[in-house]
Amino acid sequence: MLLKSMSLTNFRQFNGTQSVNFSVDPEKNVTVIMGENGSGKTTLAQAFTWCLYGATDFDVQVVLNKAVAQNIGPNGEASVQVKISMVHLGVDYIMTREQKYTTDSTGGLKRPNNTVFKIQYKNKDGQQDFIKESEVDLRMKEILPKELAKYFFFDGERIGNMSKEIRKGKSKEFADAVKSLLGLSAFTEALEHLGGRSSNTVIKSYGSDYDSKSDSKIAQLRDEIARYDARLEQIEKRFSEIDNEEDTASEKAKEYEIKIAENRDSEKYAQERAKLKNKITSLEQSKVSSTTGVIDTFNRKGASWMATKMIHDALKELADADKLDTGIPDIHARTIQFLINRKTCLCGTPIEFGGPAYTELNKVLDYIPPKSIGTLIGQFVRECELKSKGAADAFDDISNKFSVVSEFDADYAELSNQIETINKKLEGMLNVGELQKKYTFYNGEVKKLRSERIRLSEEKGAIETKRERCETSINELVLKDDNNKRVARFKAYATYMYKYLFSVYKEKESEVREQLEETVNSIFKEIYNGGFSLKLDEKYNIQIQVDDFDGYAGDVETSTAQSISVIFAFIAGVIKMARENNSDENSMLMTEAYPLVMDAPLSAFDKTRIKTVCDALPKVAEQVIIFIKDTDGEIAEDNMGSKVGMRYLFDKKNEFETELVGR
Instruction: For strands 30-34 and 623-628, give the pairing.
Output: parallel
Using CA atoms, how far apart are residues 663 and 306, in angstroms rounded to an integer? Answer: 97
CB nearer other proteins, residue 402 or residue 656: 402
Question: What is the distance in angstroms between the CA of the first residue and the CA of the last residue of the chain?
Answer: 26
Taking only Cα atoms into account, the Rg of the chain, rounded to an integer number of angstroms, comes to: 51
Using CA atoms, how far apart are residues 405 and 502, in angstroms rounded to an integer? Answer: 90
Smallest separation, CB 303 to other proteins (Å): 4
Q: Which has the closest alpha carbon to 86: 149, 175, 11?
A: 149
- Residues in CB range of 210: below 8 A, 6 or more apart: 218, 222, 474, 478, 484, 487, 488
CB nearer other proteins, residue 399 or residue 510: 399
Smallest separation, CB 365 to other proteins (Å): 13
Smallest separation, CB 377 to other proteins (Å): 7
CB nearer other proteins, residue 173 or residue 409: 409
Smallest separation, CB 412 to other proteins (Å): 12
Smallest separation, CB 280 to other proteins (Å): 18
Smallest separation, CB 359 to other proteins (Å): 15
Smallest separation, CB 417 to other proteins (Å): 20
Using CA atoms, how far apart are residues 33 and 6, in angstroms rounded to an integer? Answer: 13
Using CA atoms, how far apart are residues 372 and 319, in angstroms rounded to an integer? Answer: 17
CB nearer other proteins, residue 121 or residue 408: 408
CA dihedral 484, 485, 489, 491 (to 10 degrees): 20
Smallest separation, CB 292 to other proteins (Å): 6
Q: Catalog residues that contact other proteins under the rule CB under 8 A.
A: 291-292, 294-295, 298-299, 302-303, 305-321, 323-326, 373, 376-378, 380-385, 387-389, 392, 395, 398-399, 402, 405-406, 409
CB nearer other proteins, residue 27 or residue 322: 322
Give the number of residues written for the chain.
Answer: 663
Q: Which has the closest alpha carbon to 151: 569, 607, 632?
A: 569
Smallest separation, CB 396 to other proteins (Å): 10
CB nearer other proteins, residue 311 or residue 589: 311
CB nearer other proteins, residue 319 or residue 479: 319
Smallest separation, CB 416 to other proteins (Å): 17
Q: Which has the closest alpha carbon to 33: 50, 21, 15?
A: 21
Residue 20 · residue 37 · CB < 8 Å: no
CB nearer other proteins, residue 384 or residue 422: 384
Smallest separation, CB 420 to other proteins (Å): 23
Instruction: For strands 2-11 and 14-21, give the pairing.
Output: antiparallel
Using CA atoms, how far apart are residues 68 and 9, in angstroms rounded to an integer? Answer: 10
CB nearer other proteins, residue 317 or residue 634: 317
The backbone torsions φ and ψ at residue 146, rounded to the nearest 5 degrees and listed phi first, read -60, -35
Using CA atoms, how far apart are residues 219 and 201, in angstroms rounded to an integer? Answer: 19
The backbone torsions φ and ψ at residue 124, rounded to the nearest 5 degrees and listed phi first, read -60, -30
Smallest separation, CB 384 to other proteins (Å): 6
Determine if the peptide bond prior to 370 is cis (ω within 30°).
Answer: yes
Q: Which has the closest alpha carbon to 603: 42, 31, 23?
A: 42
Name the helix (H) or strand (E) containing 618. helix 607-620
Provide the residue type at 656 as one letter: F
CB nearer other proteins, residue 374 or residue 573: 374
Name the helix (H) or strand (E) containing 542. strand 542-546
The β-bridge partners of 97 are: 82, 117
Please count the helices (runs of H) and the strands (runs of E) in the chain: 20, 14
CB nearer other proteins, residue 374 or residue 633: 374
Smallest separation, CB 376 to other proteins (Å): 5
CB nearer other proteins, residue 60 or residue 321: 321
Task: Determine the 3-state secondary structure of 440 from DSSP.
Answer: helix
CB nearer other proteins, residue 303 or residue 588: 303
